[in-house]
Structure 1
Amino acid sequence: MTVIRRWFAIHSNGRIFRKPLLSASQAAASIKSGATLLVGGFGLTGIPEKMLKALAKRNVTDLKIVSNDTGTEDFGIGPLIREGKVSKVTASYIGENRQCVKDYLEGKLEIDLVPQNTLSWNGHDYLQEHARTGDVALIKAWKGDEFGNLVFRETARNFNPVMAKAARTTLVEVEELVPTGAIDPDEIHLPGIYVDGMVLGGKYEKQIMHLTVSRDGDAEKETPKGTMPPREKIARRAAKEFRTGMYVAPKEKTLTIGTLSKARRGRPRLGECWKGDGDCLRRGHFDMSMLGAFEVSEFGDLANWIIPGKIVKGMGGAMDLANSGSTIIVTMTHLSKDGRPKIVSKCSLPLTAPKCVKRIITELAVFDVHPQKGLTLVEKVSSETIDSLRSKTGCPFTVAPKLGTF
């Protein structure tokens, strides 16, 4: 592959060198078949979209891509996968890209799923991961100067600096290019020594991963209680778990609420804490974490990252959340799409973490979970009887003396 050489900052005659300014097509042309690419971004945020679009038009194959996730079918690294240019993906989460999941299940694409953050805890076995390196890093920044010093905008920083530091060559796409010296040194997030070439992007359009619109065009209209969709019921009940001043890590897409919350890719109003969410998790700083699930056992075992042969989401940050020491609350529908109980005596699916769940909230009931004693029904909807709940729950449970309703 073509390697763009690094430049020294100042020549002996005092002249400041500039990093090469390339078009997106020129940047893509430097990437050859078989290259390992480190791609910044998280979901649809901080994606080097111009370079990725240019690369998708080139006749390259057998690309190995390392990224946090696989974007969607039409954005991020999705088009590269769709066009058959990628042979292997190393990522934490692939669940939003149906084409990627399909190719993996059909054996057309190799996937190396890597959990986020650090996989070690005192007194427990830990998994040692190889440090990932690559031929080229494709990253996105908000602003850069002519020497390559970069500033990222809020959550768009995500994995971009890490990718830049781990690659032999780094190409950065910036929204704004300013003269060298125009950025205060204290404001620089990534120094130019890590940057080999720059692309000045054009117009950017904000992408929406899951577009949701009002069913009747009236967002303010209250949904009749008897016709409320299951997810809305779950979200309304789960919202009651929040307390003023809590530090919360919500993972279920319907539950990114609360002014002091930290979504998977969100930024809490907590100063600079958001830069090191892994540190926040490992040190047990979060009071509560809300996760979705495919199955939960009566003793709190959690399975939420894969249904072998059918659904592959990826571990993401769920393993760290489940072991963070915070109160784990699972929000999920009571039954699967084929009518089977998702609350079971023993999980049949690969576990995310054992005996970690403290409360289960479904559209029908709320259970408290004890790692030795099992489930206690503490609330139910008025339309369900205890007997009907027993028929829809795949394990025994006791009933709280003061059973509430919601």
Structure 2
Amino acid sequence: MAPFGTEDRATAAGEPAGPPHGGRRKVARYAVPATVVGVAAATIGIVPALASSGDPDLPAISAQQLIEKIAASDVQQFSGTVRVNTDLGLPDLGGLAGGLGGGAAGGGDGSSADPSAKVTELATGSHTLRVAADGPDRQKVSVLEDAAEYSLIHHGKDVWGYDSKSNEVFHTTADDAGRSAPGKDKPGKDGHGKGERGAETFTGTPKDFAEQALKAAGPTTSVTVDGTAQVAGRDAYKLVIKPKQSGTTVGAISIAVDAGTGVPLKFTLTPKSGGAAVVDVGFTQVSFAKPAASTFDFTPPKGAKVTEGKDRAHQGKEDGPLKGGLPEHLLPTPGGEPGKGPEGLKVIGEGWSAIAAFDTGAKGGVPSGSEAGGDLGGFLDSLGDKVSGKFGKGTVFSTRLVNALITDDGKVYVGAVTKDALVEAADAGK
């Protein structure tokens, strides 16, 4: 193992580049209960995990150099298998996931092949993904299920979702607004700030998660190199990110970075409370060869029900089918700014202890039990914890990472922070 005995903190970091996304869903389309589920699912977009299977002997490298290596990586062609393990402490969402997700995006088209219908399913349990990319205009992610498969294909301006279980197809168009040429959407070589940046695509790979985690590098964060590992048969360095602030639920994030290409191969988020990783995402097999062109071809199968989503090509970067992949604007990004969200959205605090706050305008708090009805009522009851303070009364919905306080007068406070921190923020807002 290479000798990494000294702490080597990165003073700043930019966002590594990734292939272009489609559009991002607007928060205003989420009902309050669906927002809570979305917040839990969104943790997948900011965290990841590391499990090593060897300690290769690699040249010493500093944390800043390793961050720069990630930022400089220009790999746009790859294929492989990714394993996602998520333990947010949520109950089994079962059919509730599809019920909430189906109306959350895409204009509420209700197709089981709508990408939004799959988001909350990834918030619990273990999943295997097959992924492939060939430049900015061709990506494919397949979620392998028991005797079934869900595929999301981006090929040029077309975006297809196909659910083999229901034989349903969802079709919409990608957003070309603001798309930059390959290699242009990177931070500067010094790791500071952003370069030109276009849309990006959530491909389900560790790199997507690293981009969020690396936004944390700054004065509220310790970034170190902690030895080496072997992931999917490739030698890698281990980059460890730890918050310096109190009040956050995040313990540490580990990122395995391919020594040859600079591509993140595996991630781990461990909570401050200890125990198993909250999210573990990593390649089990990877190739950086050009995928076959046929990988990205798609024709709706005979007899499939095809749902056409709204044409998003001219609606701007914030309102397409795939951008961000998950509602990340509900979460304050450590060291960064939240995306566009509900009107009046503000961020209280900074770094890892930042809390996003907004007013839904919905009075009367969150319905529970028989008021909500069915599976949704049981789900809310399993997460909800009644609290009170100077702000009045409300309900805290908790996971092992992200907590959200919804007050009885319709205000929402959410972040990767403790319940007490949310109550304090609500009290201060009165």
Instruction: Give your verdict on TM over 0.5.
Output: no
* Structure of greater Rg: 1
Shorter-chain TM range is under 0.3
Q: TM-score, normalised by structure 1?
A: 0.24
Q: Which has the higher contact order (CA 8 A, sep 6+)?
A: 2
**TM-score when scaled to structure 2?**
0.23
Higher strand share: 2
